[in-house]
C-alpha cells in the first residue's frame, strides 16, 4: 500500500483525535515500519489494518465507519493533490468510469509497485454499478471515497453496498441518481 494512504491517515487522526492518540496507536501496534511512513514509500497493508483497529479500540468507533470517514478525507486530498484527474469531468458517473480506465493507469505509471483495487463499471440511465475487487478488503474505504465524489460533483445519489462474497474482497456498489 502506498505511503500516502498512511501519511494521510495519520494526518486525519491527529486532526480529529490529537497527536497523543496517534502516537499511542503507533506505539502499541508494534509495526514493522515503526510507524514511520513517506508518501511515496510502499508498506504492508496489514499495518493500516492495525492502525485502524487500534483507533477503533480507543475511540469505540466501528472500523467500517472509521474507514468510510477516512475515505472521505482521502478524497479531499486527492482533489487537491491530483486535481488534473478531475479536469474535464462533468459528473460523478463519468468520474467513476475513469478510475480504472485512466486514473489507475496513470497511478501505475508513477508507482509501478502500487497494488490498486480494480473497479468494473456498468452504467444505465440513472444507475451505475461499480464492482470493487481487492484482496485488501477495504470496501468501506472505497465507500467513503464514493460518497465524497458524489458530494464533490454536487449530485444527489444513493449508494447501496452489497458483499458479493464472504471475505469482502468483491463488493458491488450501486449508485443511483435521485
49 band by pLDDT with thresholds 50, 70 and 90: very high
- pLDDT average, residue stretch 132-149: 97
- pLDDT average, residue stretch 92-111: 93
Q: Is the pTM of this model over 0.85?
A: yes
C-alpha cell at 18: 490529537
Question: Which pLDDT score, from 0 to 100, does residue 129 have?
Answer: 98
For the range 149-152, what are the long-range contacts, defined as Cβ-Cβ under 8 Å and sequence gap of 24 or more? 149/75, 149/92, 149/95, 149/96, 150/92, 150/175, 152/75, 152/79, 152/86, 152/92
Residue 160 CB coordination number (10 Å) = 11
Question: Which pLDDT score, from 0 to 100, does residue 31 have?
Answer: 96
Cross-sheet strand order for the sheet of 170-177: 118-123, 127-133, 170-177, 157-163
Output DSSP code: residue 162.
E
Helix count and strand count (H, E) for the chain: 7, 4
- pLDDT average, residue stretch 33-47: 94
Helix axes 45-59, 3-17, angle to 10 degrees: 10
Q: Give 64's contacts (C-beta < 8 A, 6+ positions apart).
A: 140
Question: Which pLDDT score, from 0 to 100, does residue 119 have?
Answer: 97
Amino acid at each position: 500500500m502506498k505511503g500516502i494512504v498512511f501519511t494521510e491517515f495519520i494526518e486525519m487522526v491527529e486532526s480529529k483525535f490529537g497527536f497523543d492518540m496517534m502516537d499511542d496507536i503507533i506505539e502499541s501496534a508494534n509495526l514493522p515500519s515503526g510507524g514511520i511512513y513517506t508518501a511515496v514509500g510502499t508498506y504492508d497493508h496489514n499495518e493500516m489494518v492495525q492502525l485502524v483497529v487500534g483507533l477503533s479500540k480507543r475511540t469505540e468507533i466501528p472500523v467500517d465507519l472509521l474507514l468510510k470517514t477516512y475515505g472521505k478525507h482521502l478524497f479531499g486530498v486527492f482533489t487537491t493533490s491530483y486535481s488534473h484527474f478531475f479536469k474535464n469531468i462533468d459528473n460523478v458517473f463519468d468520474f467513476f468510469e475513469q478510475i480504472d480506465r485512466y486514473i489507475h493507469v496513470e497511478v501505475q505509471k508513477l508507482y509501478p509497485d502500487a497494488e490498486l483495487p480494480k473497479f468494473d463499471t456498468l452504467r444505465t440511465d440513472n444507475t451505475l454499478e461499480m464492482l470493487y475487487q481487492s484482496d485488501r478488503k477495504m470496501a468501506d474505504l472505497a465507500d467513503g471515497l464514493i460518497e465524497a465524489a458524489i458530494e464533490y460533483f454536487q449530485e444527489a445519489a444513493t449508494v447501496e453496498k452489497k458483499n458479493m462474497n464472504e471475505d469482502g474482497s468483491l463488493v458491488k456498489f450501486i449508485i443511483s441518481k435521485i
